[in-house]
Chain A
Amino acid sequence: MTGEIYVLLDQSNGRVDTLSRETLALAQQLGHSHGLGVKALLLCGPSRSSVENVAGLQVDEVLAVSHERLEQYDPDAHCRALTQVLAQDRPLAFLMGHSYQNIDLAPKLAASLKCGLVTDCIDCRIDGGGMIFVRQMFRNRINADVRVRSPHPWIATFQSGAGAGNDLLEGEATVVERTVDLSGLAHRRTVVETVGAVKEKVDLTKAATIVAAGRGIKRKENLRLLEELAEVLGAELGASRAAVDSEWLERDRQIGSSGQSVAPRLYIACGISGAIQHVVGMRNSANIVAINTDPDAPIFNLANYGIVGDLTEIVPALTRKLREEKGL
């Protein structure tokens, strides 16, 4: 296979964001092992500063597209700009981070280019016939190897952790300015207001120990069992999205991609299956204990200690044991 891999660089606070760095690292690795070129693509407003931030990456070229309509994310402007560049260059593949912004943009881009898109990938490899994109399906229970049958570029978005951002190779990139024609493009989407979630009453990022509840706690009354365990451990309570959506815990205790990212010394996951959206927020915990009724739950792949069983029996036994030792 020959050709080039293009990677979209997203920036936050004037830096290439972590997810883009990881995605680029993955592309560099694929490029090196299979002799494919790698180029980075940057959409930005007219200011030069964004471009300077990306010149130190090891890529064949940085393609910089600056336009006043690209200052802030707008699906119409971003889609048209990318369509023009990608339809002209037709790289082999176009990779993006699976960010909330790119989830909004990528399917529109795929429809516009009439190219296949594989979202939320956790890995990618090249075999004789082409590229295999790996992603999870059926609510993260089953992995799938997916092949795209469409003209190039094959588009894919990558989940956090698919590439290792620390392995990103630095270098001297040539920056090539590309122009796009966005004339006559109506302003359809206006950002009215950006709001923080509930002002975090609870800062879980500082907690040394977290006892977290998931869908598997089944009913609100069972939360008491976790509270008692948290109390004896001096722990904070955390929650998966499912537990928050069920209104068992407040949203400011949510851990994961749409909540807080934590790294306590001890994380006890109670009735949490281990969906990737939760895992990205807690996988850096030093020690993970998982209690779940389903022996196949993906959380056990991450845990240091796993217990298959009913948390309404295990958690109280654990609390009793700890109390006993403390002479309570």
Chain B
Amino acid sequence: MKVFTCLKETPSRDTRYELAPDSSWIGNAEVTHEISECDEYALEEALKLKEKHQGEVVLLTAGRAEAEKSMRKGLAMGADRGVLILDRARDLSSPHRVAAALEKVLQDQDYDLILTGTQSDDYGYAQTGPMLAHLLGLPHATIVMQIQVQTDRGSVRALREMESGWFEWVEIPLPAVLTIQAGISQIRYATLRGIMQARRKEIRKIELGDLELDLSSMPHLEIERLYFPEQTSKAEMIAGTPDEIASTLVDRLRREAKVL
């Protein structure tokens, strides 16, 4: 079983965002990055598949040179090696472009499965996985909660999340692309031994320019403006000590809302 897992590094989930003066992007001077949440779950699934079916887990990242740090964490968790597409000027800011870059690298690789997160913690477009599948001519399934590889049938069964608490099991032939939902399992920690080994594992670096993609001809999503959601609040904000707050709230719920 050879699994490629696409990892994206995104701002940490506890980041308190500031905006750039021209509102075109976030403006925080220092942002710590980590593996995007869904992608970390995708990696966990890949590592579980390797434990069950043997084989290899390869990390595939498109990002800044600094993304190597997040990749080393993935290697410490148990991935075997990595490929980093160096996007130094943030040219891969639209899903078509990311998918095209990943496709170019995967074209001459062997694999049974490609896993991505369902959506990223920054743009959150939720497009890269199915687009990549289409470009590679592969079947896909999105928002996956469980994976069962049917080695004898050369296929994979995936449990997809659907509306209102419903799920469906779908079966598609291998190789295939699955996008993994967050929160579906317990993510392992890197062991000290894993961390030591990760230092020696290979990360192949590819300059985006060397992929010779005609990025400007691809569809682009231009972010015209970022802004914080308008405070449309009609909320009465209640302040004070915890006991004062409790008294005021109980009073409002009784007299105004009439729910007590």
Spell out A's residues near B (CB within 8 Å).
75-76, 79, 99-101, 103-104, 106-108, 110-112, 114-120, 132, 136-139, 141-151, 188-198, 200, 209, 241-242, 244-246, 251-252, 254, 257-261, 265-266, 286-287, 289-290, 296, 298, 300-309, 313-314, 316-318, 320-322, 325
Contacts and interface: CB of A to CB of B under 8 A. Distances in A.
Contact of B172 (A145, A188, A260, A298): A188
B117 interface: no
Given A151-B219, A194-B169, 8 more contacts: A103-B126, A110-B95, A144-B223, A150-B219, A252-B165, A305-B235, A305-B236, A325-B250
Nearest to B125: A119
Contacts of A110: 95-96, 127, 131, 219
Given A242-B183, A266-B253, A305-B236, A139 B130 contact: no
Interface of B: 11, 13, 15-17, 19, 26, 94-96, 99, 121-131, 133-135, 139-143, 157, 160-173, 182-184, 218-239, 242-243, 245-247, 249-250, 252-253, 257, 259-260
B167 A301 contact: no
A314 B66 CA distance: 41
Given A111-B130, A188-B139, A142 B228 contact: yes
A115 B236 CA distance: 45
B9 to A, nearest CB: 14
The dominant DSSP class at the A interface is mixed
The 10 closest A-B pairs by CB, nearest first: A245-B183, A150-B219, A197-B165, A317-B242, A116-B219, A107-B130, A111-B134, A107-B127, A306-B235, A321-B246
Given A103-B143, A108-B131, A265-B259, A313 B225 contact: no
A266 B234 CA distance: 16
Contact of A107 (B126, B225, B235, B236): B126
A296 B228 CA distance: 9
A194 B220 CA distance: 36
A287 B160 contact: no
A192 B246 contact: no
Given A257-B163, A305-B252, A138 B236 contact: no
Contacts of A305: 235-236, 238, 249, 252-253
Contacts of A192: 157, 168-171
